[in-house]
Structure 1
Amino acid sequence: MNENIILETRDLGKSFLGFAAVSGVNLTVRRGSIHALIGPNGAGKTTVFNLLTKFLPPSQGRVIYDGEDITSLKPAEVALKGLIRSFQISAVFPEMSALDNVRVALLRLAGGGHRFWRSERELDALTDEAMALLDDVGLADFSHVLAGELAYGRKRALEIATTLALRPKLMLLDEPTQGMGIEDVDRVTALIRKAAQGRTILMVEHNLKVVSTLADRITVLARGQVLSEGDYATVSADPKVREAYLGVTAGEETAHA
């Protein structure tokens, strides 16, 4: 076992009614890195995320996390091991305050997620830690605002806070800047960089500027298979990647130059 590797897949694949959405994906994520998974629409990125977090069973292959084969485990089981996913659509309780969202997440970590409504004392005991997490994501001044009333970028910041409350070893972020304006993108990019301190992040992201700013390593998917891998300079210079994104071949680029 390589201690520097926190996650790897071996020949991972998923088929739906004979259609291979993902095929033969070999992914290696180094501990302590920010690793981006990118590709054009329909490339299989979300399917890979669903396979890694066990929301889908694979048709073939294995998932190894922190040295353990987790291929047959359930979503809750892998979450308890520190593999925590945030979703493309913000997943917070809109009728609860930002503070209560984080306190409930902390209570779930302590094993009280199904009885939080019974014990105000348990929630109160988590207030200081919850406030520290809100401060980390720039939401300390919004602690008593209902989550549903927060601006979109701040909702995503709250989601990062609730994800951090579960103390992940590996955070999987699904399109964290989708639908954001420039100011919110910059804020969330800074939050992701901060959240990466002391942990590993695997992210699906469509904004290539964000990817170029954050990612140590990038895996490019196309038609459910790994097309290219490396740092941003390497993959952005790969003719196969340009063809997948732009629909032009290297020869056509030359002809139009």
Structure 2
Amino acid sequence: MQDEIILETQGLGREFRGFSAVTAVDLKVRRGSIHALIGPNGAGKTTVFNLLTKFLPPSTGRVIFDGHDITAAKPAEVARRGLIRSFQISAVFPNMSALDNIRVALLRVAGGGHRFWSSNRRLDALTERAMALLADVGLTEFAPVLAGELAYGRKRALEIATTLALEPRLMLLDEPTQGMGMEDVQRVTELIRRVAAGRTILMVEHNLKVVSSLADRITVLARGQVLSEGDYATVSNDPRVMEAYLGVSSAEPVAETEAGHG
């Protein structure tokens, strides 16, 4: 049914001085699902995320979110509608405690804007909800710790919590396990699984082991175009996908370096 689709792109494309970074991408993200966008380095994944969040205007095509055409919308309008990109937008301040980071994000939703320093009373009123969000991501005991002092994986968990504070209708997770060791990867994978309950997530992820354990549906990009789509079994056995990943066996996780140019 059409109302099951929360995000759709139709013929989405972007050119840079004659070079086509993304070409005719048709994407449908179902409400309540975890949808992964994968592909080798330079496939166009980051460009697609930038087009969805309106940091780049498309050269061609349309973006429809929750029944509204947002193709010409500004980034702030898209965020207000509930399309929130984690790790890029979420406000994490290293010299503030984990609790205060969440309270500031909640204040933004409540209409406090950037005037959070003007009223401790307003912040105090948000403490209960902030602590609940910290509990959701397993950071209750780290509430008083400065964000800059948190271990890398826990810092990412805090960033997810600040994104949840913004009440997203669709969370875009941009390389959530990039640069992590095995222990942190496992912790963040479990965190994403937990917070996905009742929510919709579109994620760019380089680690196929993470993708295989989380994603309901996967879209594979190569050279800016959709190469394959389906569940993990479908895309991992597609010979075109194996060729795009330089012959890597579908049974092995692929470690891809995005370097911001995906």
- Give the superposition deviation at 1:182: 1.2
Please list, as runs of the form range in 1=range in 2, the aligned pairs for 1:95-174 lying within 5 A after superposition. 95-174=95-174
* Larger deviation, residues 207-216 vs 239-248: 239-248
Letter in 2 for 1:199: R
1:24 corresponds to: 24
SS in 2 for 1:61: strand
Unaligned runs of 5+ residues in structure 2 are 249-262
Please list, as runs of the form range in 1=range in 2, the aligned pairs for 1:104-253 lying within 5 A after superposition. 104-247=104-247
Unaligned runs of 5+ residues in structure 1 are 249-257
Residues in 2 aligned to 1:35 and 1:188: alpha-carbon distance in whole angstroms: 16
* CA 1:23–1:218: 2 relative to 1, 3 Å: same
* Larger deviation, residues 60-69 vs 80-89: 80-89
Please list, as runs of the form range in 1=range in 2, the aligned pairs for 1:49-128 lying within 5 A after superposition. 49-87=49-87, 92-128=92-128
2:38 corresponds to: 38
Residues in 1 aligned to 2:121 and 2:216: alpha-carbon distance in whole angstroms: 43
SS in 2 for 1:27: strand
Deviations along 1:19-77, one digit per CA (max 9) or x if unpaired, are 00000000000000000000000000000000000010000100000010000111110
1:11 corresponds to: 11
SS in 2 for 1:57: coil
Residues in 2 aligned to 1:113 and 1:182: alpha-carbon distance in whole angstroms: 37
- Give the superposition deviation at 1:91: 5.5
- Give the superposition deviation at 1:88: 6.2
User: TM-score of the superposition, structure 2-length normalised?
Assistant: 0.92
Matched positions, count: 248
Task: List structure 1 runs of 4+ shifted beyond 3 angstroms.
Answer: 88-91
**RMSD value, Cα:** 1.4
Letter in 1 for 2:221: L
Residues in 2 aligned to 1:91 and 1:123: alpha-carbon distance in whole angstroms: 16
* Larger deviation, residues 87-96 vs 72-81: 87-96
Residues in 1 aligned to 2:140 and 2:21: alpha-carbon distance in whole angstroms: 42
Letter in 2 for 1:22: V
Residues in 2 aligned to 1:89 and 1:13: alpha-carbon distance in whole angstroms: 23
- Give the superposition deviation at 1:247: 4.9
User: TM-score of the superposition, structure 1-length normalised?
Assistant: 0.94
- Give the superposition deviation at 1:183: 1.2
- Give the superposition deviation at 1:87: 2.8
1:252 corresponds to: none
Letter in 2 for 1:50: N
SS in 2 for 1:26: strand
Q: Percent identity?
A: 82
Residues in 1 aligned to 2:222 and 2:166: alpha-carbon distance in whole angstroms: 32
Letter in 2 for 1:225: Q
Residues in 2 aligned to 1:137 and 1:98: alpha-carbon distance in whole angstroms: 11
